[in-house]
Structures are given as structure tokens and as C-alpha cells.
Amino acid sequence: MKEFLTQFFTWWNGQTLGTRLHTWRVGKRVGEDAEGNVYYEGGTDSEGRTRRWVIYRGYSEASKIPPGWHGWMHHKVDTPPSEENYKPREWQKPHQQNLTGTPAAYRPPGSVLGNRHRPRVDGDYDAWTPGG
């Protein structure tokens, strides 16, 4: 029952009820990546191409799609990685979760949200003061 309510009321966690119905009606399972995301195709989009979509395992996070599947999802290649011996190139980095908005997000030096102290301003800069 909890899974049904989650699909009915949220769009960011797995699939929605509408996606489940669309997948059941026209979806053909194409493959699955190492993270457990499942890829489908079926029907046509507004440009006449085969519609492709992913059902994420866990929270819907677009950056979770690996490079090989990204190319297939965006119609850059016709053959999905599940039907070929896809090997990432040496310059393709493994997935790193988007940490924006979390305590582990990048904080540049001097950020008011960082845990470091902001360096004192010194040198030839004089702060403006009214009437001064």
C-alpha cells in the first residue's frame, strides 16, 4: 500500500502512477544499468522518434544515468549498452551524486556556509564609509 501511495503522490521517488500505466501499455524493457535503473522504449514522441524513458531505482536523479545509457536516452546512438559490449572511455568518470543542497556540497573558500573562517581583508583596499 505504501508503494502505491508513494507513486500516486510523489514524482521524485521511482515512478509515478502515470508512468507505470504508460510503461504497462506501450513500454518494452530495453535494459538495466549497474545502479538498478531500468530503461524502456515504446510509442513515439512529438518528433516521430521512439520514446525512451528510465525508471530510477530510488530517487529520480537525472545525473544517475551512466554515459552509455545517456547517449541512448538522447537518441545519440541507436544501440543500447545492453545490446553491445559497451566500455566507458578512460576519460569518462564514474557517477558522482549531485550533492547540491546537502551538507556535503562544495563550499568554496570564503563561503558563508563553509566551516572555514573567512580571511581578513588586508592590503591596499579601504572599505567605503559614508561621509568619509
Q: What is the 3-state secondary structure (H, E, C) of 26-94?
A: HCEEEEECCCCCEEEEEEECCCCCEEEEEECCCECCHHHCCHHHHHHHCCCCCCCHHHCCCCCCCCCCC
- Which of helix, strand or coil describes residue 21? helix
- Residue stretches of the chain with pLDDT short of 70: 1-15, 114-121, 132
Sequence ranges of the domains in the chain = 2-83
Q: How far is CA 109 from CA 6, 100, 115, 118, in A?
A: 40, 16, 9, 7
pLDDT at 116: 65
Looking only at Cα atoms, what is the longest distance across the chain? Answer: 74
**Whole-angstrom distance, CA of residue 44 vs CA of residue 52:** 9
**Whole-angstrom distance, CA of residue 51 vs CA of residue 36:** 20
> Would you say the pTM of this structure is higher than 0.85?
no
Please enumerate in sequence order all residues whose Cβ is within 8 A of that of 45, keeping only pairs 6 or more positions apart, or say none: 51
- Which of helix, strand or coil describes residue 113? coil
pLDDT digits (tens, 9 = 90+) for 64-92: 888 889 899 999 988 998 888 878 788 88
